[in-house]
């Protein structure tokens, strides 16, 4: 009887709050969200975009060393792939080219300029702020409730958006902006993988509020997390791997399933990480050997 009443109450509550379409949810939030949550979220993103884009052209080419690699990439696809300083691909820069590929594509489409060079960096910075909000909000919702989760996500996003070093790197062409974006994306996917596994196993009962679903299988989300970290390695090499031991330990402790299955999932993710992380280096090494032989 108690179960039936609870289900009926939940059904009635959902009837009062009809679900919105995808685009309406993106701009207006869910019906059960506090009214201030989505406007505050967009305000934080607007503030971040203003800080990262205001008078952006005054920075010129920013770091001329990396700007030269982007310019060379607009003149030669070979220089684009290897991240070379010159269009003849005689000398490469001191970082893998992932961040320079994004700026290079922008410069190829819009022509090389301060805006085409730096605007992708600013966009990545705003996307990082948005991802951090989502990661914090979705992770703490079960402990704090809807209002507390939105407040926590907004505070985290605002702290990141206003950090002076964040503003500085998001207005520059250094690879740190792409590194931060990919690491936060990897962290978001990691948390979603944990949540997906727990939701699949526990099937929590509805207690007056709708349970947020997770799109994707836990193992698939973990593979995507490994992909993000592999791309982060191709942005600034081993700096991207600093958090990985902590993530592996967290997965072994918190993930759903038997311990051997958790080890297996981590090994599969490690294989994806290794393939993605070392793919560009492998091409570079074998390319040099082919040219020297």
Give the residue, 178 or 147, on which the prediction is more confident.
178
Give the residue, 277 or 16, on which the prediction is more confident.
277
> In this predicted model, what pLDDT tens digit does every residue of 116-146 receive, in sequence order?
999 999 999 999 999 999 999 988 887 778 8
Q: Which of 212-216, 220-224, 259-263 has the lowest mean pLDDT?
A: 212-216
pLDDT at 289: 62
pLDDT at 25: 62
> In this predicted model, what pLDDT tens digit does every residue of 151-170 receive, in sequence order?
999 999 999 999 999 999 99
DSSP string for the chain: -HHHHHHHHHHHHHHHSPPPPHHHHHHH--TTS-TTHHHHHHHHHHHHHHHHHTTGGGGTTSSHHHHHHHHHHHH-HHHHHHTBSSTT--SB-SS-SHHHHHHHHHHHHH-SSHHHHHHHHHHHHHHHHHHHHHHHHHHHHHHHHHHHHHHHHHHHHHHHHH-HHHHHHTTS-STHHHHHHHHHHHHHHHHHHHHHHHHHHH-PPP-SSPPPP--S-HHHHHHHHHHHHHHHHHHHGGGGGTTHHHHHHHHHHHSSS-HHHHHHHHHHHHHHHHHHHTHHHHHHHHHHHHHH-
Question: Residues 235-258: what's their mean pLDDT?
Answer: 92
> In this predicted model, what pLDDT tens digit does every residue of 190-214 receive, in sequence order?
999 998 887 766 654 333 344 456 6
Q: Which of 12-26, 62-76, 84-98 has the lowest mean pLDDT?
A: 12-26
**pTM reported for the whole predicted model:** 0.84
pLDDT at 264: 94
Q: What is the mean pLDDT of the chain?
A: 84
């Amino acid at each position: 009887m108690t179960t039936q009443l609870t289900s009926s109450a939940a059904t009635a509550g959902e009837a009062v709050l009809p679900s919105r379409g995808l685009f309406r949810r993106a701009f207006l939030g869910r019906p059960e969200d506090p009214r201030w949550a989505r406007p505050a979220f967009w305000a934080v993103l607007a503030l971040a975009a203003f800080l990262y884009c205001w008078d952006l052209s005054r920075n010129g080419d920013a770091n001329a060393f990396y700007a030269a690699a982007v310019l060379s990439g607009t003149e030669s696809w070979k220089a684009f792939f290897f991240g070379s300083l010159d269009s003849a691909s005689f000398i490469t820069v001191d970082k893998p080219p992932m961040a320079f590929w994004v700026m290079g594509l922008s410069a190829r489409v819009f022509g090389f300029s301060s805006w085409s060079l730096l605007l992708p960096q600013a966009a990545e910075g705003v996307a990082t702020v948005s991802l951090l909000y989502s990661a914090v909000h979705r992770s703490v919702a079960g402990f704090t409730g809807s209002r507390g989760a939105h407040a926590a996500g907004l505070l985290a996003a605002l702290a990141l958006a206003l950090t002076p070093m964040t503003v500085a790197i998001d207005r520059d062409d250094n690879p740190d902006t792409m590194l931060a974006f990919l690491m936060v994306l990897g962290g978001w996917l990691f948390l979603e993988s944990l949540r997906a596994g727990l939701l699949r196993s526990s099937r929590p009962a509805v207690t007056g509020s709708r349970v947020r679903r997770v799109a994707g299988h836990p193992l698939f989300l973990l593979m995507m997390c490994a992909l993000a970290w592999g791309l982060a390695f191709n942005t600034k090499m081993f700096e991207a791997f600093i958090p990985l031991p902590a993530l592996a330990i967290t997965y072994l402790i918190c993930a759903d399933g038997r311990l051997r299955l958790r080890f297996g999932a981590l090994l599969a993710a490690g294989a994806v990480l290794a393939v993605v992380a070392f793919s560009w280096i492998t091409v570079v090494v074998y390319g040099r050997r082919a040219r020297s032989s």
